[in-house]
Amino acid sequence: MSTRRNSDPSTLIESARAGNRAALARLLTLVENGSREVSALAFKAPGHAYTVGITGAPGAGKSTLTDRLIVMAREKGFDGGDQVAVLAIDPSSPFSGGAILGDRVRMQNHALDEKVFIRSMATRGHLGGLAVAVPDAVRLLSAVGLPIVLVETVGVGQQEVEVAAATDTTIVVVNPGWGDAIQANKAGLLEIADLFVINKSDRPGARETKRDLELMLDLSAVGEWRPPIVETVASTGEGVEALWAAIGDHRSHLGAQGTLESLRRARLEREFHQILLARVEERIDRAVTLDRFAAVIATMMAGDLDPYEAADRLLAGMFTDGAGPSADA
């Protein structure tokens, strides 16, 4: 009985706000599994976290860099905050563990720091997938009072774009010698990058990579914010202060232009769209098991109804009767 009380979402959120990390971990598991109750509570008290995405190809040094950014966030947090959360997302893996373990190990400098919360995240089972699970998780971390959330994602095309859409500042990490890759991904990189980092600048080719990126930016119609390019050596910490300063500049830019508000609005629209799609898909999946669905198929098989008309009728029923699609609407 008392166990149940302690694990009810609003009690967990209270505990997490008071600094109970075990409660926060439980809440994230609930979000991961698509708990609507937790998501709804977090949505109603969203907090003020600033979110930074770190994305890039496998092995680019994202975790090493994130590890360094944790130190920056602890020492120079925005508005005096000194806590930080890290979410490590591996879109290619349907479950936590395995691939993410390496990230944990690389960030274990902070394992005993109670102001640092590090968590890997899987999105299987979450309605709407990655595009909804990440904003949900980020909102939860914000709702329990964490002022900065760093989100590390392995760059894998569209999913990378989805995760980037969930953060305020998105850092794209490349390495020296990536000229060709940059050429090939120009559009995608420009779409998501607020900041470029050339990590492993201790290796040959950093200057050429910087030139390639500058050229790409010169040739594209960047808006009021031209993404700066910061060279880092994450393994030694070189350039990380400059990166933190650049993140702060982007944050000020968003705040000053009032664009953070419109960014967040666009993000909510996108998330809402994904949720609607998932909801409709759920209902369709349920509908195919109904007798009246079979009846519509039979009518089509007899040539009395075309599939487009049938779809319109089913959908009309789905939105009016509230109980499920009707074949005879």
Report the interface residues with ligand GTP, using CB under 6 A.
58-64, 102-103, 106, 154, 199-200, 202-203, 233-235
How crowded is residue 195: how many other Cβ atoms within 10 Å of its Cβ?
A: 22
Cβ proximity to ligand GTP: between 41 and 72 the closer is: 72
Q: Which stretch binds Mg ion (CB under 5 A): 10-18, 98-106, 264-272, 296-304?
A: 98-106
Among 32, 67, 90, 103, binds Mg ion (CB under 5 A): 103
Cβ proximity to ligand GTP: between 170 and 199 the closer is: 199
Minimal distance in Å, beta carbon 24 to Mg ion? 21
Question: Out of ligand GTP, Mg ion, none, which partner does residue 119 contact, by CB within 5 to 8 A per kind?
Answer: none
Q: What residue number has its CB nearest to Mg ion? A: 63
Residue by residue, DSSP assigns 250-284 as: HHHHHHHTTHHHHHHHHHHHHHHHHHHHHHHHHHH
Q: Which stretch binds Mg ion (CB under 5 A): 37-45, 102-110, 206-214, 299-307?
A: 102-110
Minimal distance in Å, beta carbon 308 to ligand GTP? 44
C-alpha span between 109 and 100 (Å, rounded): 16
Q: Which stretch binds Mg ion (CB under 5 A): 61-69, 214-222, 302-310, 321-329?
A: 61-69
Q: Which residues contact 287 (CB under 8 A, 6 or more apart)?
A: 293, 314, 318, 324, 325
Retrieve residue 46's tokens. Answer: 């969203």
Minimal distance in Å, beta carbon 237 to ligand GTP? 9
Minimal distance in Å, beta carbon 44 to ligand GTP? 34
**Residue ranges with strand state E in 50-89:** 50-56, 84-89
- Helices and strands, counts by H and E, the chain: 15, 7
Tokens 């050596």, residue located: 233
Across-strand partners of 238? 233
Residue by residue, DSSP assigns 123-162 as: -TT-TTTHHHHHHHHHHHHHHTT-SEEEEEEE--THHHHH
Q: Annotate each residue in 62-81 with x if it binds Mg ion (CB under 5 A) or - if it does not, as one string.
A: xx------------------
C-alpha span between 72 and 82 (Å, rounded): 9
Cβ proximity to Mg ion: between 105 and 215 the closer is: 105
Task: With CB under 5 A as the rule, give the number of residues binding Mg ion.
Answer: 3
Cβ proximity to Mg ion: between 103 and 162 the closer is: 103
| Contact (Cβ atoms closer than 8 angstroms) between residue 61 and residue 175 | yes
Site residues (vs Mg ion, CB under 5 A): 62-63, 103
